[in-house]
Amino acid sequence: MLMLPGMHVAAQSAPPTAEPQSPLPGWTLTGSVRQQYEHFRNEEWGAAPADPSGYLLQRYMFRVSRPMAPWATATIEMKSGLEVGRAGGPRVPDKDVFDLHQGYVDLHRGALNVRVGRQELQFGSSRLVSVRDLNVRQSFDAVRGTVANETWRLDAFASWPATTRPDALDDVTDRTRRLWGVYAVRHPRGSQHTVDVYYLGYGRDNAHFDGGRGRELRHSVGTRLSGTQESVDYNVEAVAQWGSLADRRIRAWGVASDVGYRLSLPLRPRVGLRADTTSGDRDPTDVKLGTFNGLFASAAYFGLIATAGPANHVDVQPQLGLEVNHAVSVSAGWLVFWRREVADGIYTWSGQLLRSAVGTHSRFVGQSPSVTLRWTVNAHLSLSGDLSGFTAGPFIRESGAGENSTFVRTTVAYRF
């Protein structure tokens, strides 16, 4: 299925492949190199420093695994994220000179695997828990147990996110945030349909919403239905949230959908429609907080040009995908974005308040067309180009800088 930035698609594990040849017997060595050029015109709708020439993001990752016993395997993955030439300097996910990205031990017996240490977490369509695939990926210090058979996979975990810092070997555990939960996936062998059911718990010591701030404790229960039926593909998810923010009660919810139809025509066009909505806070003076929290959502939730995340919003995005050949694809979409509640602002993909509702009255945030070209040269090398724009709506102009934006990105990625 062709993917646009921000599309909600199933997070599938890569198919098993032959282990790469290693100069060290018993060791598995893998890695990747990624070079990205990015250029914004009016980043953050003109609130960020002007950057006429763009900037380069470089990512280097190297991973080594080795069996320590018949029932234990150790893995270490190092990372280096570099930024060159960005006006205003690197953002938090842009730079981490050299650090531990993953370092864990797998303890396995039969169908049970227990993973202890720093690791990536990603579930379902990455709507609530993702790897934040920016220049520096997100990892967690966690204990995770997994049980799987031919029909079910069950994960239970407790974790703290790792905080990205820019210098060498200086990342630390973020003790102010906590994430725990249980995630179950039913996918019978031979079936084209998958059912996810999950509970996620989240704690944050210093949360800040338009409707208040303080210690946040939030519980999320959700389900996701995804699969294909002949020419139709679908991915639908619903989440309910409750808990507390200081002395306020949390009552929030979200619904996401992505449905497409593959036509039997040259270039195998896929016509799709994505439609999502999340609750916002209707009255900041009452005892209930209605703002949805996307937890650790994908950083490209609304595409690469916007840092907004899933909270207090309604969006609709028609999509078109084409397969030029087995290696080259083109996808396009047109996102239209509103606030759900006029008394609440909009938030970043990391859950921070991006634009406050104070002094505003308009719902319409804006619209964003985008085009992506991808070329998988071979099993190791891939190239892509992205072009998108964002026309600022009345809410953006009312709440601060309100210029229209454009974004260009080219990516070269090599895996070994």
Is pTM beyond 0.95? Reply is no
pLDDT beyond 90 at 283 = yes
How big is the CA angle at 218 (ends 361 and 362), to the nearest 5 degrees? 10
Question: Which tokens sit at 311?
Answer: 């909270």
How long, in residues, is the chain?
Answer: 416
337-396 tens-digit pLDDT: 999 999 999 999 989 999 999 999 999 999 999 999 999 999 999 999 999 999 999 999
Instruction: Give the model's pLDDT for residue 303.
Output: 77
- Name which of 205, 227, 230 is nearest 218 in CA terms: 205
Q: How confident is the model at residue 25 (pLDDT cuts 50, 70, 90)?
A: low
284-315 tens-digit pLDDT: 999 999 999 999 998 888 877 878 999 999 99
- Please identify, in words, the CATH class of the domain defined by 37-415: mainly beta
Look over the chain and give the mean of its residue pLDDT values, rounded to a whole number.
93
Within a 10 A sphere around the Cβ of 19, how many other Cβ atoms?
A: 11
193-225 tens-digit pLDDT: 999 999 999 999 999 999 999 999 999 999 999
b/e code 260-274 from CB counts within 10 Å (16+ = b): bebeeeeeebbebeb
Q: What value does the mean pLDDT take over residues 106-122?
A: 97
**240 close to 222: Cβ distance less than 8 angstroms:** yes
Backbone conformation region of residue 267, classed left if phi is above 0, alpha if psi is from -120 to 50, else beta: left
Give the domain ranges of the chain. Answer: 37-415
Phi then psi for 28, rounded to 5 degrees? Answer: -115, 120
